[in-house]
A and B are shown apart, each in its own frame.
Chain A
Amino acid sequence: MFYCVYSTFISTFYDLSKILGPPTSWFILSFPKMATPKKKKMPVQEEIQDVDNDSAMAVPSSAIPPPNISSIKNKMRRTHEFIKLKRQRRKKKELQKKRKRETEALGDEAPPKKVPKTIENMRVFDETMVDPQDEEVLHDEAHDEMASYFSRDTRPKVLITSSDRPRSTTTRFLKELGQCIPNSEIYYRRGLDIKKVITQALAKEFTDIIVINEDRRKPNGLLLCHLPDGPTAHFKISNVKLHDEIKRAPKSTEHYPEVILNNFNTRLGHTVGRMFAALFPHDPQFSGRQAVTFHNQRDFIFFRHHRYLFKNNKRVGLNELGPRFTLKLRSLQKGTFDSKFGEYEWVHKRHEMDTSRRKFFL
């Protein structure tokens, strides 16, 4: 009896289940619908899957850079996107591994490995690229203005000067250059014309003049004039780092450094490279273990001054000394400095020459 009463009591109170159905549906009624994460269509997805690792250049022109996942504020969406990204990356990796396995399996029959295209690979064909065995080039170089240096008739003696009233950075730069280039003397320009400087230098038997131009307290131009009517090259300087600014740089010594000239491939490059080489004495002192490098890449010449140490046959340690700067050739003039009536072999004309990203001149 008691039991019956109890059951009815229950049934009257908790008959909701009969009315509303099983408990799961209650949740739907009582709580709002959970927002499912919207599947954001990333426009770049298909591109990632299609990419062949051959050409780094096969990017469609409509490629928008993928949005930064970490900037999505909603945590669920963010994790979703991250999971997707990881999945893609994993797929890509698996593809690479598969390809590697295939090539290994095929062995000799495997197709040749694809090389990615770089700007250096894609460089516009330059007809002035020098073949080292070219007779004409050799003949020219045996008779050009720097020939006297290369045939060891003259020893380099360099005059370093600046524009009027140089500021502290420029004076420090001059001093460092003076230390770096052996047999060099620094003179302060006191309002003299360059043509007059040249006549005086010739009288004192200098072989080269370097003039550093300054603008807004920083060196910004370099004029290199080879003396007994040698060519005059005008460069733009950028990114100067002096000895004090280079971390833990040891002091340089008076030893004659070795000269390394990289990537001077065209005729113009050859001339410029020879001009640089003519600044330094012929016989480097290997005991000093110092090397001065002019490295040309895409028409930018990077100057570095290192002390090297051979650890074994395969490894060298380099310790950077001295200044570090980059040069860009602006003009090359035949003969000594004469901006009005000089004959310019090469002048950088931006509108004509900077049209293609893969065309270089040095």
Chain B
Amino acid sequence: MQHDDVIWSVINKGFCSFKVKTKSQKFCRNEYSLTGLCNRGSCPLANSQYATVREEKGVCFLYMKTIERAAFPGRLWEKVKLSRNYEKALQQISDNLIYWPYFIRQKCKQRFTKITQYLIRMRKLTLKRQKKLVPLSRKVEKRERRKEQKALVAAQVENAIEKELLERLKQGTYGDIYNISQTAFDKALEEEEVSSESEAEEEKEGELEEEMEEESEAEVEYVEDFEESDISDIEDGDKFAEESTDEEDKDEEGEKGKGKWKPGMRRKRGKVEIEYEEEREPAKRQTVRLQP
């Protein structure tokens, strides 16, 4: 007993390798500890008469330590197998720890209860479904995502679907729903071949340069000259209009600076009418002789 106190004073105040200190609590990491806390009464090193309950692979054992065997560390702990029956096991604990301090007996029984409860829960859980966590490698996932994007681009799903649907239409799986007869279909095909170039709508690709050239050569349009008057000239423009009816020719080619005439653009300013007068050479002076 004196030995215990000495041990405790050394361990408690000095260093104990099993002690774990947190802000509010002290824990004991010793595997034979009855409670997990670091107390004078529950320290397995500082009590020469001590008992615990531990389980190995689902079987519970009662471990006891007495002062008689303190000198033989190999034989120190006495191991008693507890029965599988809960009540019988409790009775066993009481019988083995008869005349032992109440604290240790109580704590042993409590510990044994807790152990049996968690063993029951473990057995229940194994019967239920267990979620399997599959680790994902980040690199692999990234690679897969990239491959998927590339596959999507290569797949051209919509085009494939359209092709398939058109084939089914051709084969006649739709019957007469769409009222497309074979002759009409052939005609449509022929027309398609003839007019494939001019139908720019059906070409979903962007215009190629060559086609641009062809179009520009084929369709030479003569567009009338767009004449827009400047903003500043708008009031003057009216005057000019009036004046042009008088014998003046004026070209009104004030550009607003917008440049080309776009087909959708509406003339913002009022329409100005222009009259042109050709300059004639002044009539030669003819001398007319008045005949008497």
Inter-subunit contact B129/A193 (CB<8 Å): yes
In chain A, positions 238-266 with a C-beta closer than 8 Å to chain B are 238-239, 258, 260, 262
A313 at the interface (CB under 8 A from B): yes
Q: Which residues of B contact A238 (CB under 8 A)?
A: 144-145, 148
In chain B, positions 158-180 with a C-beta closer than 8 Å to chain A are 158, 160-162, 164-166, 168-169, 174-175, 177-178, 180
Q: Closest residue to A326 on the B side, CB-wise?
A: B148
Cα-based distance from A310 to B173 in the complex (angstroms): 14
Q: Which residues of A contact B164 (CB under 8 A)?
A: 260, 262
Inter-subunit contact A350/B160 (CB<8 Å): no
A314 at the interface (CB under 8 A from B): yes
Inter-subunit contact A298/B147 (CB<8 Å): yes
A133 at the interface (CB under 8 A from B): no
Inter-subunit contact B155/A318 (CB<8 Å): no
A7 at the interface (CB under 8 A from B): no
Inter-subunit contact B151/A300 (CB<8 Å): yes
Q: Which residues of B contact A300 (CB under 8 A)?
A: 147-148, 151-152, 155
Q: Which of the residues A239, A297, A316 comes within 8 Å of B154, measured between beta carbons?
A: A297
Inter-subunit contact B151/A297 (CB<8 Å): yes
In chain A, positions 202-234 with a C-beta closer than 8 Å to chain B are none
Inter-subunit contact A298/B165 (CB<8 Å): no
A157 at the interface (CB under 8 A from B): no
In chain A, positions 277-304 with a C-beta closer than 8 Å to chain B are 286-287, 291, 293, 295, 297-300, 302, 304
Q: Which residues of A contact B161 (CB under 8 A)?
A: 260, 262, 291, 293, 295, 304, 306, 308, 316, 318
B194 at the interface (CB under 8 A from A): no
1/0 per residue, CB under 8 A from A, across B59-95: the answer is 0000000000000000000000000000000000000
Inter-subunit contact A314/B155 (CB<8 Å): no
Q: Closest residue to B143 on the A side, CB-wise?
A: A354
Q: Which of the residues B129, B152, B162 comes within 8 Å of A302, measured between beta carbons?
A: B152
A118 at the interface (CB under 8 A from B): yes
Cα-based distance from A313 to B160 in the complex (angstroms): 16
B223 at the interface (CB under 8 A from A): no
Q: Which residues of A contact B290 (CB under 8 A)?
A: none
Q: Closest residue to A93 on the B side, CB-wise?
A: B209
1/0 per residue, CB under 8 A from B, across A306-345: the answer is 1010101111101000000010100000000000000000
Cα-based distance from A302 to B155 in the complex (angstroms): 9
A119 at the interface (CB under 8 A from B): yes
Q: Which residues of A contact B202 (CB under 8 A)?
A: 314-315
A102 at the interface (CB under 8 A from B): no
User: What distance in Å separates the Cβ of A215 from its nearest Cβ neighbour in chain B?
Assistant: 9
User: What distance in Å separates the Cβ of A192 from its nearest Cβ neighbour in chain B?
Assistant: 8
| Number of residues on chain B facing chain A (CB within 8 A) | 33
Cα-based distance from A326 to B153 in the complex (angstroms): 13
User: What distance in Å separates the Cβ of B127 from its nearest Cβ neighbour in chain A?
Assistant: 10
1/0 per residue, CB under 8 A from B, across A112-131: the answer is 00000011100000000000
Cα-based distance from A297 to B157 in the complex (angstroms): 9
Cα-based distance from A300 to B150 in the complex (angstroms): 10
Inter-subunit contact B169/A313 (CB<8 Å): yes
Cα-based distance from A119 to B155 in the complex (angstroms): 11
Q: Which residues of A contact B129 (CB under 8 A)?
A: 191, 193-194
Cα-based distance from A328 to B184 in the complex (angstroms): 43
Cα-based distance from A287 to B177 in the complex (angstroms): 8
Q: A312-B188, A314-B166 are in contact. Are A295 and B157 (CB under 8 A)?
A: yes
User: What distance in Å separates the Cβ of A293 from its nearest Cβ neighbour in chain B?
Assistant: 5
B265 at the interface (CB under 8 A from A): no
Cα-based distance from A299 to B150 in the complex (angstroms): 12
Inter-subunit contact B155/A297 (CB<8 Å): yes
Q: Closest residue to B186 on the A side, CB-wise?
A: A313
Q: A316-B162, A350-B140 are in contact. Are A298 and B154 (CB under 8 A)?
A: yes
Cα-based distance from A313 to B185 in the complex (angstroms): 7
Q: Closest residue to A295 on the B side, CB-wise?
A: B157
Cα-based distance from A316 to B160 in the complex (angstroms): 11
Q: A262-B160, A286-B174, A295-B157 are in contact. Are A316 and B165 (CB under 8 A)?
A: yes
In chain A, positions 129-181 with a C-beta closer than 8 Å to chain B are none
Q: A286-B174, A312-B188 are in contact. Are A295 and B148 (CB under 8 A)?
A: no
Cα-based distance from A286 to B175 in the complex (angstroms): 10
Q: Which residues of B contact A191 (CB under 8 A)?
A: 128-129
Inter-subunit contact A313/B180 (CB<8 Å): yes
Name the residue in B150, B162, B165, B166 with the highest tally of chain A Cβ atoms < 10 Å from its Cβ.
B165
Q: Which of the residues A118, A286, A295, A310 comes within 8 Å of B160, measured between beta carbons?
A: A295
Q: Closest residue to B180 on the A side, CB-wise?
A: A313
| B residues neighboring A (CB under 8 Å) | 128-129, 140, 144-145, 147-148, 150-152, 154-155, 157-158, 160-162, 164-166, 168-169, 174-175, 177-178, 180, 184-185, 188-189, 192, 202
30 A-B pairs with C-beta separation under 8 A = A118-B154, A119-B154, A191-B128, A193-B129, A238-B148, A239-B148, A260-B161, A260-B164, A260-B165, A293-B161, A295-B161, A297-B152, A297-B154, A300-B147, A300-B148, A300-B151, A302-B157, A304-B157, A304-B161, A313-B169, A313-B188, A313-B189, A314-B166, A316-B161, A316-B162, A316-B166, A318-B161, A326-B148, A326-B152, A328-B144
| A residues neighboring B (CB under 8 Å) | 118-120, 191, 193-194, 238-239, 258, 260, 262, 286-287, 291, 293, 295, 297-300, 302, 304, 306, 308, 310, 312-316, 318, 326, 328, 350
Closest 7 CB pairs of A and B: A297-B155, A298-B151, A297-B151, A316-B162, A300-B151, A313-B188, A295-B157
| 15 further A-B pairs in the complex, CB-CB below 8 A; given A193-B128, A298-B151 | A286-B174, A286-B177, A293-B161, A297-B155, A298-B154, A300-B147, A302-B157, A313-B166, A313-B185, A313-B189, A314-B166, A318-B161, A318-B162, A326-B152, A350-B140
